[in-house]
């Protein structure tokens, strides 16, 4: 299918967003755009640096071919603007006067120094929701610290609990800290917009990557607060429940034994296969022993057994007996999962540049009335300059051409 036209009202239809964010906040802009907000991606002249991040469509390194850029900027418009120039700052102030949300991820204090902070822009637009995403927040002793996704994952406390007991802390794949920060910003922006509906007043949303990551550590902080003990890295096991991922004949499978029936069913199946060892003994009847002194012995027996079965066999038997067991799916296999296609999660779009059919991931939720839509693919750098500056800001053709000539846009 092709990208749809924006002719259906969505939850955020009518909300205009200026997206000045970098890697930390670009996903937040996508979340807003995908539910109807008019998100204008403000790029420096020549285009955002994200456009140079591979991999690239057909292996061709070009700004419009970055799969990274295409994924994070669906449904957005693009303008170019040099915020380092007086004319550029004045234009942003004018754009902010008609915006509902401004999203940014600059170092604390930078935009304030340019007259583009919340105080400066909200004077002309009291209803503006101004969302700032920073590594450690806009206040506190760490406010000026730099922070990458890796640093956020580490200093948020999640990395210490990830990995194996005998290895250094591990990082999860991808930009999990950035994604978590964008998710929290998305929630904060929606709350601020809801507040504005009731009061007419905008506000600043201050999102700290460190705090966003810290909220995802589940029981780790609580356990330390009450016991004084740091979490132990559990490798292929979940630290708080009876969940583990085992190697089997054709990959890996996750088995959850969080109920007595699940544990009893698992060892009964192993016993039927003649591979339960001594697990049918009475001393193994309590599932809490999975985390006790016999844990290593139990794991050796379970893995020896899973290696004799396929992921599908274990998954189907577990699900048939009402247990949450499932295969570990590889990235390549995700595109072949009929459940995701049946629910319309994947959207197939014909690329406007080379005619290649591309598959985009959709939203992890569905609303019965209106919700996520793929209406347009990621814009070219400055694709909407004339539309925004001339039609919406009412600049003359002469003014527009002068901005181009001076390098402001």
Per residue in 346-387, pLDDT (tens digit) is 999 988 777 889 999 988 888 888 888 899 999 999 999 999
Q: Per the domain annotation, does 179 fall within a domain?
A: yes
Identify the pLDDT of residue 237: 72
- For the record, the structure tokens of 82 come out as 């040099």
Rounded-to-integer distance, Cα 230 and Cα 52, Å: 40
Q: Answer yes or no: do 286 and 385 share one domain.
A: no
Q: Answer yes or no: do 77 and 191 share one domain.
A: yes
Rounded-to-integer distance, Cα 81 and Cα 263, Å: 60
Strand partners, 18: 40, 102
- What stretches in the chain show pLDDT beneath 70? 1-7, 235, 239-242, 289-291
Q: Answer yes or no: do 136 and 280 share one domain.
A: no
Q: Answer yes or no: do 310 and 348 share one domain.
A: no
Identify the pLDDT of residue 1: 35
Rounded-to-integer distance, Cα 325 and Cα 185, Å: 33
Q: Answer yes or no: do 125 and 206 share one domain.
A: yes
Rounded-to-integer distance, Cα 15 and Cα 33, Å: 9
Per residue in 77-97, pLDDT (tens digit) is 999 999 999 999 999 999 999
**CB-CB contact of 236 with 246 (8 Å):** yes
Rounded-to-integer distance, Cα 33 and Cα 380, Å: 16
Number of domains within the chain = 2
Strands 203-208 and 129-134: parallel
Q: Answer yes or no: do 59 and 188 share one domain.
A: yes
Rounded-to-integer distance, Cα 407 and Cα 82, Å: 7
Spatial neighbors of 55 by CB under 8 A, at least 6 apart, are 67, 68
Question: How many residues are present in the chain?
Answer: 409
Q: Answer yes or no: do 312 and 386 share one domain.
A: no
Residue 115: CATH number of its domain: 3.40.50.10540
Q: Answer yes or no: do 60 and 184 share one domain.
A: yes
Secondary structure (DSSP) of 125-140: -TT-EEEEEESS-SSS
Q: How many CA atoms lie within 13 A of 105 on its CB side?
A: 24
Q: Answer yes or no: do 279 and 248 share one domain.
A: yes
Q: Per the domain annotation, does 399 fall within a domain?
A: yes
Q: Per the domain annotation, does 91 fall within a domain?
A: yes
Chain centre distance of CA 184: 10
Spatial neighbors of 140 by CB under 8 A, at least 6 apart, are none
Chain centre distance of CA 298: 36
Q: Per the domain annotation, does 68 fall within a domain?
A: yes
Domain boundary (269, 300, 332) is at 332
Q: Per the domain annotation, does 250 fall within a domain?
A: yes
Rounded-to-integer distance, Cα 195 and Cα 201, Å: 7
User: What is the residue range of 161's domain?
Assistant: 16-216+341-406
Chain centre distance of CA 239: 23
Rounded-to-integer distance, Cα 125 and Cα 101, Å: 10
Instruction: Look at the alpha carbons of 97, 101, 105, 108 in this order and tell me if their dihedral is positive or negative.
Output: positive
Q: Answer yes or no: do 269 and 128 share one domain.
A: no
- Specify the pTM: 0.91
Q: Answer yes or no: do 356 and 252 share one domain.
A: no
- Report the candidate in 215, 222, 146, 142 with the shortest Cα–Cα distance to residue 184: 215
Q: Per the domain annotation, does 222 fall within a domain?
A: no
Q: Per the domain annotation, does 150 fall within a domain?
A: yes
Q: Per the domain annotation, does 4 fall within a domain?
A: no
Residue 247: CATH number of its domain: 3.30.1540.10
CB atoms inside a 10 Å sphere around CB 351? 15
**Degrees, nearest 5: CA angle 56-58-61:** 40
Domain boundary (332, 359, 385) is at 332
Q: Answer yes or no: do 98 and 179 share one domain.
A: yes
Q: Which residues of 271-310 are buried (b: 16+ CB within 10 A; e: fewer)?
A: eeeebbbebeeeebeebebbeeeeeeebeebbeebbeebe
Domain boundary (310, 332, 354) is at 332
């Amino acid at each position: 299918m092709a990208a749809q036209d924006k002719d259906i009202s969505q939850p955020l239809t009518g909300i205009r967003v200026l997206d000045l964010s970098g890697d930390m906040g670009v996903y937040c802009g996508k979340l807003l755009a995908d539910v109807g907000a008019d998100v204008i991606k403000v790029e420096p002249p020549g285009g955002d640096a994200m456009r140079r991040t591979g991999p690239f469509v057909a292996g061709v390194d070009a700004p419009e071919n970055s799969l990274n850029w295409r994924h994070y900027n669906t449904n957005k418009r693009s303008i170019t603007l040099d915020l380092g120039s007086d004319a550029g700052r004045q234009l942003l102030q004018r754009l902010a006067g008609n915006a509902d949300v401004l999203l940014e991820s600059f170092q604390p204090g930078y935009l304030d120094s340019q007259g583009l902070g919340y105080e400066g822009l909200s004077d002309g637009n009291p209803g503006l929701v101004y969302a700032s995403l920073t590594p450690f927040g806009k206040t506190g002793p760490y406010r000026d610290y730099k922070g990458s996704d890796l640093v956020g994952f580490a200093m948020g406390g999640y990395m210490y609990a990830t990995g194996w007991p005998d290895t250094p802390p591990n990082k999860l794949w991808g930009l999990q800290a950035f994604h978590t920060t964008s998710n929290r910003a998305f929630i904060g922006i929606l709350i601020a917009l809801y507040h504005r509906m009731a009061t007419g007043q905008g506000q600043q949303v201050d999102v700290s990557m460190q705090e966003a990551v810290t909220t995802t550590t589940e029981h780790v902080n609580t356990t330390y607060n009450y016991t004084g003990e740091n979490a132990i890295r559990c490798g292929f096991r979940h630290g708080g429940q009876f969940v583990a991922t085992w190697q089997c004949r054709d990959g890996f499978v996750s088995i959850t034994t969080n109920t007595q029936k699940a544990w009893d069913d698992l060892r009964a199946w192993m016993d039927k296969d003649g591979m339960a060892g001594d697990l049918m003994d009475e001393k193994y009847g309590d599932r809490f022993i999975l985390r006790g002194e016999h844990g290593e012995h139990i794991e050796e027996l379970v893995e020896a057994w899973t290696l004799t079965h396929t992921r599908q066999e274990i998954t189907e038997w577990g699900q048939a007996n009402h247990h949450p067991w499932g295969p570990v799916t590889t990235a390549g296999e995700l595109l072949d999962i009929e459940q995701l296609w049946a629910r319309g999660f994947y959207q197939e779009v014909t690329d406007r540049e080379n005619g290649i059919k591309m598959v985009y991931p959709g939203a992890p939720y569905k609303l019965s009335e209106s919700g996520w839509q793929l209406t347009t693919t990621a814009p070219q750098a400055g694709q909407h300059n004339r539309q925004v500056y001339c039609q919406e800001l009412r600049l003359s053709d002469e003014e527009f051409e002068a901005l181009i000539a001076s390098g402001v846009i």
